[in-house]
Structure 1
Amino acid sequence: MAKQTYSISDLASELDITTRAIRFYEEQGMLSPTRRGQERIYAPKDRVALKLILRGKRLGFSLAECKTLIELYDPRAGNRKQLDSMLELIAERRQQLEQQLLDIQQMQLELDTAEERCRTALKATGEA
């Protein structure tokens, strides 16, 4: 039985991304297809890596963080180290989002205060 492989267009179509994006991730060292002439041949591990990259991007991880997670994956040794790192990144991202939410709420309060002062000033001038 032949080992499953994928062309760049197979992956682009399946994952709804451009072939340029796939080539970019390859340039970053995150994918390592074999070559048959000019044709790129992607293995299942490249497909998994690409899915991890896309998931990481959706979660707000940097490319460097995604690359680290991919490099930690070792099917022979299990993926405990990768999962522990992923949990750490999730906790950090959650903390960043919570801080951003607090910052947004504070800014909304400041906007409310500024708006109220402007309305009060307009009323005082009789132009409201």
Structure 2
Amino acid sequence: MTAKTYSISELARELDVTTRTIRFYEEQGMLLPTRRGQERIYTAKDRVALKLILRGKRIGFSLAECKTLIELYDPQGDNRNQLEIMLGKIAERRLQLEQQLLDIQQMQLELDTAEERCRAALLEVPETR
């Protein structure tokens, strides 16, 4: 039985990305298709790697972090190490988001204060006609 392979257009269509996106990740060394003439042939491992990249990017991981996680993936092995590192990265990202949320809330308070001062100052300025 032959392992399932994908063309670049099949992979792009299935994962709803452009072929240019796939080529970019290939240039970064994150996907390693074989070639049949000019045609790129992607394996199930490439498909999983691309899914990990896309998921990682959605939750704010850098390309370097995604690459680290992909390098730890072993389709036949124990992925305990990969999963533990992923959990650590998720915890780090959660802390970053919590800090960003606090920063946004602080900025909103500062905007409220600035707005109140502007409105109060406007009441003191005589109207001109």
- Short-chain TM bin: over 0.9
Unaligned runs of 5+ in 1: none
Deviation at 1:100, TM superposition (A): 0.4
1:106 paired residue number: 106
Q: Which amino acid aligns with 2:101?
A: L
Unaligned runs of 5+ in 2: none
Q: Which amino acid aligns with 1:5?
A: T
2:124 paired residue number: 124
The alignment's C-alpha RMSD in Å is 1.0
C-alpha distance in structure 2 between counterparts of 1:75 and 1:14, whole Å: 20
Number of positions where the alignment pairs a residue of Structure 1 with one of Structure 2: 127
C-alpha distance in structure 2 between counterparts of 1:87 and 1:47, whole Å: 22
Residues 1:10 and 2:10 are matched in the alignment: yes
2:68 paired residue number: 68
SS in structure 1 at match of 2:40: strand
Deviation at 1:73, TM superposition (A): 1.1
Deviation at 1:120, TM superposition (A): 0.8
The question of whether the paired residues in 1 share the 8 Å contact of 2:34 and 2:41 is answered with: yes
Q: Which amino acid aligns with 1:117?
A: R
Deviation at 1:2, TM superposition (A): 1.8
Identity in percent: 80
How high is the TM-score relative to the length of structure 2? 0.95
1:44 paired residue number: 44
How high is the TM-score relative to the length of structure 1? 0.95
Structure 1 outlier segments of 4+, above 6 Å: none
